Amino acid sequence: MEDNTHTNGQAAFEYLSKMIVHSMLDSSVLTFHGVLMEYNGKGIIITAPSETGKTTHARLWRDEKNALIINGDNACCYNENGVWTGFGIPWSGTSGEQINRKVEIAAIVVLERAQYNKATPLSEYEAFCKLQPLIHYPVWDMAKTERAIELCNNIIKDIPVLRLECQPHRDAVDALYNGLEGAL
C-alpha cells in the first residue's frame, strides 16, 4: 500500500486516533482534549482549547510535585464499578507523552490564561458549558453525540470540576493544589 500523504504513515496513525476515541464511546469511554496526569495515586484531567497551556501546566506539576503525565493530549475515562477511571492511549498529540496506565480520576480542571492564579469550583451547569466543547465525539453521529453528552453529564455529577485561571508559572501549581484540597 502506498502512502500518498508523504507522512510515513503518521497521517494514518493520527486519523486512527480519531476513529478510536469515537468508537470507544460504544464502550462508554469519554475522551477529553486534555492532559491526564497522576498525583499521589489520583488522576487529574487538565482540559482546555489548543495552545492554552495544558502541557506546560502538567509539566510544571511534574517538575514541582513529581506528578506523572499519563497522556499529554487525550484524557480517556470511563466509570468502572462506580469509580471514574482514566487511562493512557498511544496518541498524545504534540506532547509525545503517553504511558499505558490507569488511575482513579479525582478532579477535572478547565485551564484558562489569566494575569493571576486562581482555582474556582464550577457548578454542574458551568462545568458542562466548559467541558462539552472539549470532548471528542463524532458530531455527524447522533447516537454517539448523545452518548458523549450523557457521559459528560455523568462525570460532572461525580467528579469536581474547577476552573484554573493562571499564568504559566509554578505559582499556578500551588493555586490548583490549594483548590483541589479534599479531592486529592
Per-residue pLDDT band at 54 (split at 50, 70, 90)? confident
Residue 131 CB neighbour total at 10 angstroms: 22
Measured CA to CA, the distance from residue 25 to residue 7 in angstroms comes to 28
- Give the pLDDT confidence of 60-95 residue by residue, as tens digits: 999 999 999 998 778 999 999 999 999 987 655 665
Percent of the chain topping pLDDT 70: 85
Reduced to 3 states (helix: H, G, I; strand: E, B; else coil), residue 84 is: strand
Taking residue 113's Cβ as centre, other Cβ atoms within 10 Å add up to 12
The DSSP secondary-structure symbol of 85 reads: E
Class of domain 25-176: alpha beta
**What is the four-CA torsion angle of 97, 98, 102, 103, rounded to 10 degrees?**
10
Q: Is the pLDDT of residue 20 over 60?
A: yes
What is the CA 41 to chain-centroid distance, rounded?
16
Q: Which amino acid is at 55?
A: T
Least confident interval from 95-99, 105-109, 157-161, 169-173: 95-99
Q: State percent of the chain over pLDDT 90.
A: 68
Show me where the domains of the chain are located: 25-176
CA 144 to each of CA 9, 31, 87: distance values in angstroms, whole numbers, following the listed order = 28, 12, 20
